[in-house]
Amino acid sequence: MNRDHKFLAACGRLASLLNLSIGAARQRIDHQIAQKGANNPASKFAVVEGMLAAAQLDSAAHSELLDNQLEALESEANFLVED
């Protein structure tokens, strides 16, 4: 897989993790690339990989938080609402 395909695949993975369109994810990536002053393809790919790693960590933290919130308290474990 060449560098352009890897870059686009990373953009797609980032869009999926952030629940964004590929265009919106690409805008965020372009903004970060401009802020970091990445000029060559290798440094641009490094920026995307960094954003992807941060999004994966954030996603894992959100999943753990949601799991903790969905656990029933022992006192409420058998609670049912009647119609």
> Does residue 37 form part of some domain?
yes
- Give the model's pLDDT for residue 63: 72
Once rounded to an integer, what is the mean pLDDT over residues 28-57?
89
Number of domains in the chain: 1
Which residues span the domain enclosing 50?
Answer: 3-57
CA-CA distance, 64 to 71, in Å (whole number)?
Answer: 11
> Does residue 78 form part of some domain?
no
Q: Please indicate, yes or no, whether the overall pTM of this predicted structure exceeds 0.85.
A: no
Of 41, 37, 40, nearest to 10 (Cα)? 41
> Does residue 77 form part of some domain?
no
> Does residue 27 form part of some domain?
yes
Selected residue with higher pLDDT from 14 and 78? 14
Phi/psi-derived region of residue 81, left when phi > 0, alpha when psi is between -120 and 50, beta in every other case:
beta
> Does residue 80 form part of some domain?
no
> Does residue 14 form part of some domain?
yes
